[in-house]
Amino acid sequence: MYDRNPDRVDDALRSTDGVDETARYDDPLALADTCDVVVECAGHSAVERYAVPLLETGTDLLALSVGALADADLHEAIVRTAVASGARFEVPSGALAGVDAIKGAAVHGQLDEVVFVTIKPPAGLAGAPYIEEHDVDLAAIEEKRLVFEGSAREAAPAFPANINVAMALSLAGLGADDTVVKIFADPDETDNVHRIEARGGAGSMAFAFHTHPHPANPRTSYIAALSTIASLRRRTAPLVVGT
């Protein structure tokens, strides 16, 4: 366990049964010495700094901050390094229901259009670079309002703590430049609401889901943490469901 803020590690160790000081690391790259897989949940900068060095050791990386792959050079470096070392860069489904269907529809180019819509309480968008750069007054929003529309590649750096799910969707389907993202702020909404609309040779698909914000971080969904646990369990499961 590593965090650049040692107090967070202290809190985690105190609240986790069966885990002691031997789980503490002072260097994130040292995790590769004893771990088969490293889970990243520290933000885009952590992926940018540590993904390639960790993969070079042959250690798998399960990354939640997949929006960092909006950087095409980083994306290419991660894939190239994983191929060379035999390690895997894994992306959990997180709050992305329907990802298996999108992956299937993308086979042999059977996918023509993918639109991702997310609706969040205004507070869930606080601190996003796009919000600050465009002087969006979240407190003044009194009804549902479209605050962003663009590609997944554009959305990822604009909302790095909010929209990793859009980049995951783009990796499963049409890619970062051809996946459309729409972000709404709605003061009447308490959940994170996501909708996916896709069409192509395999047919038309629509998915809608409401997920509760994580109790400790309203900018992300609680299901993202649970999905990560499920991804880890899948690695050793005798029976695996889903692609």
Residue stretches of the annotated binding site for NAD(+): 95, 164
Instruction: Convert 196-233 to b/e letters by CB count within 10 Å (16 or more is b).
Output: bebebebeebebebebebbeeebbbbbbbbebbeebee
Starting at the earlier edge strand, list the strands of the sheet with 60-63.
37-40, 60-63, 89-90
Annotated binding site: 95, 164
* Helix ranges, the chain (H): 6-15, 44-56, 72-85, 99-106, 129-133, 152-158, 164-172, 222-234
Of 118, 52, 101, 115, nearest to 81 by C-alpha is: 52
Name 189's Cβ contacts closer than 8 Å, sequence gap at least 6. Answer: 119, 120, 121, 144
In sequence order, what are the residues at sequence separation of 6 or more whose Cβ sits closer than 8 angstroms to the Cβ of residue 96?
Answer: 165, 168, 169, 172, 194, 196
Cβ atoms 123, 188 nearer than 8 A: no
Q: How far apart are CA 31 and CA 37, in angstroms?
A: 9
**Measured between alpha carbons, how far is 36 from 41 in angstroms, rounded to an integer?**
17
Q: Which of 194, 210, 212, 214 is catalytic?
A: 194
Query: Is 212 labeled as catalytic in the residue annotation?
Result: no
Residue positions annotated with a catalytic role: 194
